[in-house]
Amino acid sequence: MNRILKSLVGGLVLSAAVVSAPAFAEMKVGVINYQRLMAESPQAKVALEAIQAEFKPREADLQRTQGMLKGKEEKLQKDAATMSEAQRTQAEKELRDGARDFTRKQQEIQDDFNARRNEEMTKLQRVLVEEVQAYSKAQGFDLVLADGVIYFANSLDITPAILGSLTGRKAPAAPAASKPAK
């Protein structure tokens, strides 16, 4: 009886696979390279340029501070032999304090930059997902895969078509440069 039941279940599973095979054969499948979309879309380039422009003044200020510190260090090395002990100690203290402030400012700018970049990338991800969905629906795709695909034939790659669609869209204006806290 057990053998008959196993044969019957096996037959049902085989029948179900054979019946559903034509449905899979007719599926339209596409694959996207999501990292490429994030890197090459015009919207990504606009967002990155806007963020870089937003942080350019702070980076310039940081470079000026670095130049001043280097000048103070060179002056200390040059004049150390002729300075009194108190003058040398004071100059070394100013140099240490300046270097500490420089490192703190540098870290703050990096943290603020990363936060803004993450904020803009989150917005970009929403745009990209909406575009992939719209394109996929318009082209009649049944399934579109992204991350986690180990192999796919180039004929399934719809990334260039979606990039073309994104390029055809008007790139959003640069986000309003909100002044991050210093």
Entry pTM? 0.66
Q: How many CA atoms lie within 13 A of 166 on its CB side?
A: 28
Topology of domain 28-168, per CATH? Protein Binding, DinI Protein; Chain A (3.30.910)
Q: What is the pLDDT of residue 61?
A: 95
Q: Where are the domains of the chain?
A: 28-168
pLDDT less than 70: residues of the chain: 1-25, 170-182
In angstroms, rounded to a whole number, what is the distance separating the alpha carbons of residues 37 and 33? 7
Q: What is the pLDDT of residue 44?
A: 92
Among candidate residues 169, 168, 138, the one with its CA nearest the CA of residue 30: 138
Q: What is the pLDDT of residue 138?
A: 93
Q: What is the pLDDT of residue 25?
A: 62
